Amino acid sequence: MTGTHRKVLEVLSGKTLVPPPIWLMRQAGRYLPEYRETRASAGSFLELCYTPDLAVEVTLQPIRRYGFDAAILFSDILVIPDALQRNVRFEEGHGPRMDPIDEDGIAELSAEGVIGHLAPVFETVSRLRRQLPEETTLLGFCGAPWTVATYMIAGRGTPDQAPARLFAYRHPKAFDQLLAFLADISADYLVAQIDAGADAVQIFDSWAGVLGEEEFARYAVEPVRRMIASVRARRPSARIIAFAKGAGLFLKDYRRLTGADAIGLDWSVPLSFAAELQKDGPIQGNLDPMRVVAGGAAMESAIDRILDVLGQGPLIFNLGHGITPDADPENVAALVARVRGRR
């Protein structure tokens, strides 16, 4: 019964659909007036994430408006450090903050209570699976260990992830330990989301683009490989998308080395290279979110190029990163109509 006509799942298993299924990273968010309204009724951003009534509502908002082929659980990658008691806060206009972790803090990390702390997230997932249209794929997600670690080390978002890169060079053993710990706890988290009803999951490595060759292998590939192996050992049929933003040429072997079903591509990936990658397996991407803000011909021409070059192979149409708060909801409607109008 499950999954028979869920288009995103079909593409993840290698099928080509024309037109391709579509969803957008950060599709539930501040560009939508109904999101801003619900957001105002929650105290803090984390409260929104941990209140199933509200998290279900904001997840469904973009589905009602646009009928996307996938819904993505409304939560955040930083619920893992929150569950690890790193005192995570989202301060208005300043982005996330938490207590920076050091070598001693890494040695003391414990998985105890983490999955219990995240129980409201699993409740949200199971309610969503019951409330979503049968044909809509439900995506769970988590952050990749490297990206989550950049926030845990710095205690905040940074432009270049310099604190984490420096920490990794100065304390390589402790850093490896942190990434392995995050890989294992994140695997447990994904398994629990799948058991609650997620059809597939995405791993976000948003800051993979600052890593050199050796570091990409050690900090981006290995922990994600470890996480995926752990999920597959327990849930062999799990469908997994891995998105390493800014990874450039390292994407060549990323799918094979991590064991993901599909890889996400940002807008800096040339379409010719994307077409090469698509010969190995399904891809997702890669419209520049700024083109959605610009709208009109700037958006339409880029949609057409993606469909022309990648539309005859396994593709999940998406942006190359999250939609931004300044995007006009009308432009999103035009985007969906244009992708779906092409056969």
Ligand X SMILES: Cc1c2[nH]c(c1CCC(=O)O)Cc1[nH]c(c(CCC(=O)O)c1C)Cc1[nH]c(c(CCC(=O)O)c1C)Cc1[nH]c(c(C)c1CCC(=O)O)C2
Catalytic residue annotation: 26, 30, 39, 76, 151
In this complex, which beta carbon is closest to ligand X, that of residue 28 or of residue 231? 28
In this complex, which beta carbon is closest to ligand X, that of residue 161 or of residue 278? 161
In this complex, which beta carbon is closest to ligand X, that of residue 26 or of residue 340? 26
Residue 39: how many CB atoms within 10 A of its CB?
A: 16
- Burial of residue 334 (number of CB atoms within 10 Å: 0-12, 13-18, 19+): middle
Q: Residues 66, 167, 175, 204: which binds ligand X (CB under 6 A)?
A: 204
Minimum distance from CB of 284 to ligand X (Å)? 13
Minimum distance from CB of 85 to ligand X (Å)? 18
According to CB under 6 A, which residues from 134 to 193 bind ligand X? 141, 147, 157
What is residue 319's three-state secondary structure? strand
- Burial of residue 94 (number of CB atoms within 10 Å: 0-12, 13-18, 19+): exposed
How far apart are the C-alpha atoms of 287 and 309, rounded to whole Å?
Answer: 13
In this complex, which beta carbon is closest to ligand X, that of residue 20 or of residue 96? 96
β-strand partners of 22: 317
According to CB under 6 A, which residues from 213 to 272 bind ligand X? none
Spell out the SS3 assignment of 31-97. CCHHHHHHHHHCCCHHHHHHCHHHHHHHHHHHHHHHCCCEEECCCCCCHHHHHCCCCCEEECCCEEE
How far apart are the C-alpha atoms of 259 and 57, rounded to whole Å?
Answer: 33
According to CB under 6 A, which residues from 317 to 336 bind ligand X? 322
In this complex, which beta carbon is closest to ligand X, that of residue 114 or of residue 203? 203
x-marked contacts with ligand X along 84-103 as a string, rule CB under 6 A: ------x----xx-------
Minimum distance from CB of 206 to ligand X (Å)? 3
* Per rule CB under 6 A, count of chain residues that contact ligand X: 22
Q: Residues 13, 17, 19, 30: which binds ligand X (CB under 6 A)?
A: 30
Q: Distance from CA of residue 203 to its chain's centroid?
A: 5
Q: What is the DSSP-derived secondary structure letter of residue 30?
A: T
Binding site for ligand X (CB under 6 A): 25-30, 39, 45, 72, 74, 76-78, 90, 95-96, 141, 147, 157, 204, 206, 322
